[in-house]
Amino acid sequence: MTIQEVFNLHKGDLQRMEFQLKDNLRSSVPLTFEMGDYLISGGGKRLRPLLLMLSARLSGYSGGNETLLCTIVEFIHMASLLHDDVIDAATVRRGKTSANAIWGNKASILVGDYLSSKALHMAVQLKDPRITATLAEIITLMSEGELLQLLSTGDVDVTEERYLNIIRHKTAILISGACRLGGLLGNASDAQVQALADYGMQIGLAFQIADDALDYCAVEQNLGKSLGKDLSEGKITLPLIHLLSSCNETENSQVREIIYADSPSESELRYILDLMNRYRSIEYALGRAKEIAESGTRALSVFNSSPELESFYAVAGYVVEREL
């Protein structure tokens, strides 16, 4: 089964979520809808709601609350995007002008806060304390992830372990939470709910590692990113961590000087990319992503074989096999 086949199977469910996203954006302050609708129109992989739906189906759920819960998860994700772009001083998001570049940082922060609080308000409707507790924990840990990344900006001595801890909080926790929430909706046992959460955590780590690796080799129109974007923002990701631990002393010193520069030039970025190719740093990162994704699929051994389980395997393959 391919990832496109998985998305096609759940096309109707995802469309219903899109409608609910817009419906729940409406408030007495028109700016919330305007900015939220702008983010929604920018597209996105919708990986989190897809995994939530798959987890609910795998757990035997056949009600209708998964659409509301998917909307809640996407609101939290959208809030994190708004906050990320302010922190990164970003001007582009998915190939479009970022919201903060249009409406300003203050509006982006406030609308992001609104979306997070709206998500928790909507969750109360489900009257399940396990779900509200999970969502509250997700928001708390994601905020910690932002702080951890901020404290590590430009720190060339970040280790692979510390990097993984940052992306575990910042990215993987929401993907893991989406899988856990789907299990909580259904009839999954505690062990199965934990297995879904473990799968989501590993897939989330693999997704972010692959994303960071692609930043160094993808053309802008392919993934909506500029060459070396993370490097120019002082984000020390796994390809760079591997390079600094692999290159010789002279090269290491030169790479550090470029990182410390206020605005790395195109030729300096090219120098780092050439070194990465020489030391196979991007291949190393993608290899780690594949290893981690495979460990995630093994966590699902507590479930019997089914079409839904095949969909999880397809997602795991997709997150590390996206086109460069």
pTM summary value: 0.93
- Across the chain, what does the average pLDDT equal? 90
Confidence of residue 222 (pLDDT cuts 50, 70, 90): very low
Structure confidence at residue 234 (pLDDT): 73
- Minimum mean pLDDT among 133-137, 138-142, 209-213, 216-220: which range? 216-220
The architecture (CATH level 2) of 3-321 comes to: Orthogonal Bundle (1.10)
The tokens of 221 are what? 């129109």
Torsion of CA 182, 178, 196, 160, to 10 degrees: 180
Structure confidence at residue 200 (pLDDT): 98
243-258, pLDDT tens digit by residue? 999 999 999 999 999 8
Query: Does residue 231 surpass a pLDDT of 80?
Result: no
Q: Where are the alpha helices (DSSP H) in the chain?
A: 3-9, 11-25, 30-41, 47-58, 65-88, 99-103, 105-123, 129-152, 160-167, 173-185, 190-214, 220-223, 229-232, 238-246, 249-260, 266-279, 281-298, 307-321
Structure confidence at residue 164 (pLDDT): 97
Between 306 and 175, where is the model more confident? 175
- String of DSSP letters for 93-150: ETTEE-HHHHH-HHHHHHHHHHHHHHHHHHHGGG--HHHHHHHHHHHHHHHHHHHHHH
Torsion of CA 306, 307, 309, 313, to 10 degrees: 140
Across 149-160, average pLDDT: 89
263-289, pLDDT tens digit by residue? 777 788 888 888 999 999 999 999 999
The tokens of 214 are what? 């692609």
Structure confidence at residue 165 (pLDDT): 96
Tell which residue, 36, 154, 28, 133, has the closest CA to residue 88. Answer: 154
18-76, pLDDT tens digit by residue? 999 999 998 889 999 999 999 988 777 799 999 999 999 999 998 889 999 999 999 99
Query: Does residue 219 surpass a pLDDT of 50?
Result: no
Structure confidence at residue 96 (pLDDT): 86
Across 110-128, average pLDDT: 94
Look at phi and psi of residue 135 and say left if phi exceeds 0, alpha if psi is from -120 to 50, else beta.
Answer: alpha
3-state class (DSSP) for residue 211 = helix
Could you tell me how many residues make up the chain?
Answer: 324
3-state class (DSSP) for residue 92 = strand
Between 94 and 181, where is the model more confident? 181
Between 230 and 133, where is the model more confident? 133
